[in-house]
Structure 1
C-alpha cells in the first residue's frame, strides 16, 4: 500500500513536458478531482482505491487500512459506498423471519427509514444523522413504537459492522424519548360476554377461546377440529393461521417454541365450543401448510372458524368483524382481540398464579417477557415483603433494660 499523486506521473516518459511549478509531469486528470489516492487489496484480493484532497488524510487512511488488514478487520469499501436503502433491502432478504415479521420489517423501512436515511451511503451515516432521524420520527410515532422501529434500524447497522461494511454503528450513544408507562386495558367479565353476544354467531366462541385460554388470534383461527378434545377438555396448539399481504392466509408454526402447548379448556369454553360445532360444523377447505418450512404443502384442513364464504379468516376481514362488537362492548378504539389474552393473563395473576405458570399458559418464550408485559399486575412487592417478614418474626420481644 502507498499514497499516489493523481495529478503527476510517477514514471514520466522521456521528453514529456513538466509542470513549471513542481517540475513534474502532469497527468491527464491534473487539477481535477481529489489529488491523493490510496490503493490496496482487500481480504478477498480485490483491488480497492480511495481519493483524498489532503495528503495527510490519505497517509492516515493508508496507515489505518494497512493496520486493519494486518489484523484481519479491513472494511469493505465498495459496500460502504452502497446506499442505505439498497443495503437494508439486501439485509432484510437474508433474515430468517416468518412472513408476518418480514412484512412488518419491510413496512418499517419503507415508511420510516428509506425516505429519510435511504439516500445516504453506508459509510456516510453518523450519529448526528440518527439523532436527527429520531427527532423527526418522534413527531409521528409514539415513544413505544419508535423504540421498536429504532431497534430494527440499530440491528441493521450492527449487522453492517459485523460484515465489516462500517467500522462503528452510528446508533451508538443515541437516546430515545422516554416512553410513559401505560397499563393494558383489561375488559370486565361483562364486557367479555357482550363481545361474544355482539359478534356474528359463528365467531362468538372466538371470544371465549381468547379470554378463557389465552390463545392468540392466529392460534384461534388456525385451530382444526382434530386439535380439540371436548371429552378431555384440551386443545392442542401446534399451528397458527398467518396473514400477510399478497397471499391467502396459510398455516404456519406457532410464534415461539413454547407457544406449542396443550391448553386446558374451562367449562365455559367447552360449552361455547360445543354450541359452535353444533351450529357451524367445520368443512374441508384447501389451505397452504407451512408448519414445516422445509416441507410446505397444500392440503385439506377442517378449520373451526371460517368466513361466511367458508374461507380462512384474514386479519383484515377480522378487523371489520371485530370493530362494531368492540364499540358495543365499550372496548377502546384500536384495541384488538389481544385484549382478551390480557384478560386471561391478569385473571391468572390476580388469582395467585406464578410468573412461570402464566408464561406457560400464554406460550411466552421466557418468563422475562411475561414479567415485562404484566409486571404491574402482580401485588406490590413492598406489601408482600412486609407481610412475609411480619408472619415470620411476629411481634417484637420486650428488650432487656440496659445495665
Structure 2
C-alpha cells in the first residue's frame, strides 16, 4: 500500500508499508520526486530486493558478533575470524555507511605488512559478513564487490619442494622418536595435525595402509581431537619402507597398550603443534635445511606421486583435498605439459627406430 498526500506546508508526503506492515514515509518538495521514490521502493518490494532503510544502522562488529555465534566453525577458524573482524577500521561503523572505498583502504593498509595469502584470508572472512548482511536484508549490496586484492605469487614460484637428498638428511638428523613422524609427512603426505593424531590402530601393517580419521588442533591452551579439515578422511596406501619404519617405532617407543594409543607422544601426551614445531626446528637445523617447512614434505610427497604418473584424482584422494580443483590449483605446474608428453612420445619412437637402424646397419 502506497500513497502521496500534500502537506499543509506545501510539501508532498509519500508513504508505504513494507512486507511486515511497517509504515515508512518521506517528504519531498515536488510531487514527481515523491512518485519516483515510491516507484523505486515498489520495484524493490516486487523483486525481493527491498531493504529496510533503518536496518543497516547496526554496526559491523555488532552484526558480526550475532552472525558468528551461529556459524559451525572449528576453534582455529573462529580465532582467525574473530581477529579479522576485531581489527578492521570500520568495526564500529553502521553497515549501511561502509563503502567500497573503506574496504579498499583497509586492504591497502594490510598490504604494507602482510602476505597476499593472509590478506585474502581476512578479506574472505569480512566479505562473508557483508554477504550475510545482504542475505538478511540489512544492506542492499556488498561493499567488498569488485575490490582488488594483492597478487599472490605463482605456485611454482612460492612452493618449496625438498629434494630427495634433503629429505634423507632430515630423516638422519631427526631424533629417534621423531624420525617416523618426519617419514609419515614425507612418504604419506600427512598434514601436521593429521600426523599428530595418528593412533597405532590406524595403521594396518598387513594391508600397508593408514586410515586418516582425526587431527589434533590447539584450542586455547588445550589440544583438541577433531575430524580432518574439509572432511578429508581418507585411506593412504603406504610404501613398504614406511611400514617398516612405523613398525620399528611402535616396537621401540609404544610396544604395549590399546589400539587407540597415540603413535607419537611426549611425556605421555600426544604431540601438540608447539612440540612438533620445536622438534622440527631442531631437525632442520641439524640437517642444514633451515628454510624447509614441515608442510614442504607434503609437497615432496605430492611431487613424487605426480612424477610417477599418478592422475589428478589419485593425488587428490591421497592428499585429502576436497576437490580435484584444489589439487590442480596447487600442483598443476608439476604435471608434465603437452610439450613434455609429446617430446617423451617422440623420443620413444626415435629410440625404437634408431635401434632397428643400428641393427640393420651392423648386419650390412
TM tier relative to shorter chain = 0.7 to 0.9
Unaligned stretches of 5+ residues in structure 2: 354-364
| Counterpart selection for 1:307 from 247, 266, 286 | 266
Q: C-alpha distance in 1, partners of 2:195/2:333?
A: 27
- What is the TM-score of this pair, normalised by structure 1? 0.75
Q: Verify: 1:82 aligned to 2:82, yes or no.
A: no
Following superposition of structure 1 onto structure 2, how do residues 240-255 of structure 1 map, counting pairs within 5 Å?
A: 240-246=215-221, 248-255=222-229
8 Å contact from structure 2 (residues 14, 25) kept in 1: yes
Corresponding residue of 2:71: 95
Corresponding residue of 1:256: 230
Distance 1:249 1:370, change over 3 A: same
Paired residue total? 348
Q: Could you give the per-residue CA deviations for residues 259-313 of structure 1, whole angstroms, max 9, x where no partner exists?
A: 222222212211221221122117779xxxxxxxxxxxxxx941111222x1232
Corresponding residue of 1:297: none
Q: C-alpha distance in 1, partners of 2:29/2:270?
A: 65
Residue 328 (structure 1) shift: 2.6
Comparing 48-57 with 64-73, greater Cα deviation is found at 48-57
Q: Could you give the per-residue CA deviations for residues 202-251 of structure 1, whole angstroms, max 9, x where no partner exists?
A: 222111111111111121111112111222222111222222325x2222
| Counterpart selection for 1:351 from 296, 302, 308 | 308
Residue 83 (structure 1) shift: 0.8
| Counterpart selection for 2:111 from 107, 113, 138 | 138
8 Å contact from structure 1 (residues 187, 339) kept in 2: yes
8 Å contact from structure 1 (residues 242, 250) kept in 2: yes
8 Å contact from structure 1 (residues 225, 282) kept in 2: no
Q: C-alpha distance in 2, partners of 1:192/1:391?
A: 32
Q: Verify: 1:214 aligned to 2:185, yes or no.
A: no
Q: C-alpha distance in 2, partners of 1:179/1:232?
A: 41
Corresponding residue of 1:239: 214
8 Å contact from structure 1 (residues 355, 370) kept in 2: yes
More relative contact order, 1 or 2 (CA 8 Å, 6+ apart): 2
Residue 387 (structure 1) shift: 5.3
Distance 1:316 1:205, change over 3 A: same
Comparing 100-109 with 373-382, greater Cα deviation is found at 100-109
Measured on the aligned residues, the alpha-carbon RMSD in Å equals 3.3
- What is the TM-score of this pair, normalised by structure 2? 0.82
Following superposition of structure 1 onto structure 2, how do residues 381-392 of structure 1 map, counting pairs within 5 Å?
A: 381-385=338-342
Residue 352 (structure 1) shift: 1.8
Corresponding residue of 2:287: 329
8 Å contact from structure 1 (residues 43, 74) kept in 2: no
What secondary structure, in the 3-state scheme, does the structure 2 residue paired with 1:201 have?
A: coil
8 Å contact from structure 1 (residues 222, 251) kept in 2: yes
Residue 346 (structure 1) shift: 0.5
Corresponding residue of 1:376: 333
8 Å contact from structure 1 (residues 187, 331) kept in 2: no
Q: Could you give the per-residue CA deviations for residues 18-46 of structure 1, whole angstroms, max 9, x where no partner exists?
A: xxxx6x9xxxxxxxxxx99876544334x
Residue 137 (structure 1) shift: 1.2
Task: State the structure with more CA Rg.
Answer: 1
Unaligned stretches of 5+ residues in structure 1: 11-21, 25-34, 286-299, 396-403
Residue 110 (structure 1) shift: 2.8
| Counterpart selection for 2:166 from 191, 194, 197 | 191
What secondary structure, in the 3-state scheme, does the structure 2 residue paired with 1:382 have?
A: helix
What secondary structure, in the 3-state scheme, does the structure 1 residue paired with 2:336 have?
A: coil
Corresponding residue of 1:105: 81
